[in-house]
Chains A and B, each alone.
Chain A
Amino acid sequence: MSDKRYLLIFPAIILLIFNSIFPLVVVLNYSFTKPFSDNPVFEGVDNYVDVLHSSEWWDAFKRNALFTGIALAIEVPVGLLFALLIRGKGKLIDIVSTVVIIPSLIPFVSVGILWRLMTRTGGPIPLFMGFFGVAYTLMTPKSAFWTLIIMDAWHWISLVFLLLSASLVTIPEVYYTAARIDGSTKWQTFRYITFPGIKLSLITVLLLRIIDSFKLFDENFILTGGGPGRSTELLSFFIIKKGIREWVGGFSAAASIIYLVIVILLCYLLISFLTKGKGMLER
């Protein structure tokens, strides 16, 4: 029996060595050289120094952090509100909760297209805003950035909603009954029963959304293409632009590694928090 367990895990490991370790080795190798040139020699940490001295990198980083902060400040409270309001039984509630989930199942590209259509000159959103006397266009840096945030919120409130509703269901109904009998106010019920029950999910969804916002690419690429200027260029977009379009492989590879380390640190934070240092596998 004891040897079989390695056999069981073997296929997964082989696939991931080919698809994860191997590319990582390649990208690490690139990050220390000047790849795709006639004479790819070892350059030490030059590429890393270049990245950390590049104002473009830091701009993208700061922009991404700002984006994440604002997007989360919208998505998490609204998602929580949705989860609290859209629950229980009834036909309308069934329909609404189904509809709210739909955005998270739409391909990211299509979300981008959807919002390009909505925000085109003369499209529904400019018309709607014009109705209130606001001239709206995707062409200014500020409105492009905010549109990106609103689109992200539209897309991912569904995830917050899904996760929090799933955890709200696990709070026993008797708690609420007891609270009602004791005559607690709505706020007290939320503070002392609902909130402790969903606290773990809430923090999970926060960290999950932080990690995902740091990885955002598709909608960014489709909606604004990083523009106008570089005003909506986030980290993923920056790396792809450098690596694939401008073909500065070493620089892009070094940026990839730094980026990967940032995201994995966030991930580590998430996991160690959730397991409270008990280790990943509960036994």
Chain B
Amino acid sequence: MNKRSSKQLLGRTAKVIFFLLVLVVFLFPIYFMTITALKTRSEIETRTTIYPHELNMKNFREMTRGPWKRAIINSIVVCVSSVALCLPVSFLAAYAFSRRPFMGDIHLYFWLITNRMAPAASFVLPFFAIYTNIGLFDTKLGLLFSYTLFNLPLAIWIWMSFMEAVPKEIDDAAFLDGFSVWRYFLRVFLPVLKPGLITVAVFIWMFSWTEMMFAVNLTAVASKTLPAQLTVTVMRLGYGVDWGMAAAGGTISIIPGIVLVIFTKKYLTRGFVPLRRL
């Protein structure tokens, strides 16, 4: 008995040490970026310290004005409008796929999903050419449209998995009661699918928030998003990179992810389930 409990204690200690190690490996880089944003430029350039010896709020204050403020606002606008556009559109399409079989639906669905998998790099050149011709270059509307290329398939994919779990008898009962399609959506279907709604919204938001390929190549000045602005800061050659500024922007870019993981963790896990079944 004694031997067994000491072995258990050893196992538990090993586990706790392992957990702490994991925490350090995953949190330290984030912590280091945050404190770098709080250091003075000379401290960043001259030595590596694990806490700011002289607190400097200048970098974060810079985030609230000029190009940084614009970039943050642009990011939020593009993300919110992506959710607003893709959420209803993908909902309707997913409903059609899951409830109303039609000719060629399987091929259409496959094509939809491959859009999610297609490399963004292949689309940058044509988007660039098209957008400069029709005046969508360097506009938030252009970014919003280019993001739908990936957002829509992903959203439909996740919606599908949630809808498949809702028994079709509910539809029949509602329609027998004389519900119209729209009334059925609002009164019956959507309330059941609330977790799905949240999951899809979170995923569209996160994708739009983290996207960089289009944001960098399809914008110039006015509609740079936060990732694009960060890229400009880091890639500026010749002057030396202002790491304090880059770190402050990076820290801000992490906030939505952390908020989302804390409040919607169970939905996130759920959102990955469709990937298993397709």
Give A contacts to B, CB under 8 Å: 1, 4-6, 8-9, 11-13, 15-16, 18-20, 22-24, 26-27, 30, 35, 82, 85-86, 92-93, 95-96, 98-103, 105-110, 112-118, 120, 122-124, 127, 154, 159, 162-163, 165-167, 200-201, 204-205, 208, 211, 214-215, 217-218, 221-222, 225, 235-237, 239-240, 243-244, 249, 252-253, 256-257, 259-260, 263-264, 266-268, 270-271, 274-275, 279-283
| Known A-B contacts A8-B100, A23-B126; A109 and B145 likewise in contact (beta carbons under 8 Å) | no
| Known A-B contacts A12-B93, A215-B119, A215-B120; A280 and B110 likewise in contact (beta carbons under 8 Å) | yes
Considering the complex, give the chain A residue whose CB is closest to the CB of B47. A122
Number of A-B contacts (CB under 8 A): 284
Stretch at the interface among B57-65, B193-201, B226-234: B226-234
Number of interface residues of B (CB under 8 A): 97
| Known A-B contacts A96-B19, A235-B121; A102 and B93 likewise in contact (beta carbons under 8 Å) | no
Set of chain B residues within 8 Å of A201, measured between Cβ atoms: 276
Whether A99 and B26, one on each chain, are in contact in the complex, defined by CB atoms closer than 8 angstroms, is yes
Set of chain A residues within 8 Å of B117, measured between Cβ atoms: 211, 263-264, 266-267, 270
Give B contacts to A, CB under 8 Å: 15-16, 18-19, 22-23, 25-30, 32-33, 36, 47-48, 50, 85, 88-90, 92-93, 95-98, 100-102, 105-106, 108-110, 112-115, 117-130, 145-146, 148-149, 152, 156, 164, 181, 206, 209-210, 212-213, 217, 226-227, 230-231, 234-235, 243, 246-247, 249-250, 253-254, 256-258, 260-262, 265, 268-270, 272-273, 275-278
Whether B210 and A108, one on each chain, are in contact in the complex, defined by CB atoms closer than 8 angstroms, is yes
| Known A-B contacts A166-B269, A260-B119, A264-B117; A275 and B253 likewise in contact (beta carbons under 8 Å) | no
| Contacts A23-B130, A30-B129, A110-B253 known; 17 new A-B pairs at CB < 8 A | A12-B90, A16-B115, A26-B129, A30-B125, A96-B19, A98-B265, A102-B261, A110-B227, A113-B250, A117-B33, A163-B275, A165-B269, A239-B122, A271-B110, A281-B97, A281-B101, A282-B277
Q: Is the interface of A mostly helix, strand, loop or mixed?
A: helix
Whether B26 and A103, one on each chain, are in contact in the complex, defined by CB atoms closer than 8 angstroms, is yes
Whether A154 and B146, one on each chain, are in contact in the complex, defined by CB atoms closer than 8 angstroms, is no
Q: Is the interface of B mostly helix, strand, loop or mixed?
A: helix
Whether B247 and A259, one on each chain, are in contact in the complex, defined by CB atoms closer than 8 angstroms, is no
Shortest C-beta distance, A16 to chain B (Å), equals 6
Set of chain A residues within 8 Å of B164, measured between Cβ atoms: 282
Whether A100 and B121, one on each chain, are in contact in the complex, defined by CB atoms closer than 8 angstroms, is no
Whether A154 and B26, one on each chain, are in contact in the complex, defined by CB atoms closer than 8 angstroms, is yes
Which 10 A-B residue pairs are closest in the complex by CB-CB distance?
A105-B257, A23-B126, A12-B93, A26-B126, A256-B122, A5-B100, A236-B121, A107-B210, A267-B117, A8-B96
What is the CA–CA distance of A167 and B277 in the complex, to the nearest angstrom?
11
Set of chain A residues within 8 Å of B152, measured between Cβ atoms: 12, 15-16
| Known A-B contacts A16-B152, A263-B118; A221 and B231 likewise in contact (beta carbons under 8 Å) | yes
Whether B114 and A264, one on each chain, are in contact in the complex, defined by CB atoms closer than 8 angstroms, is yes
Whether A113 and B234, one on each chain, are in contact in the complex, defined by CB atoms closer than 8 angstroms, is yes
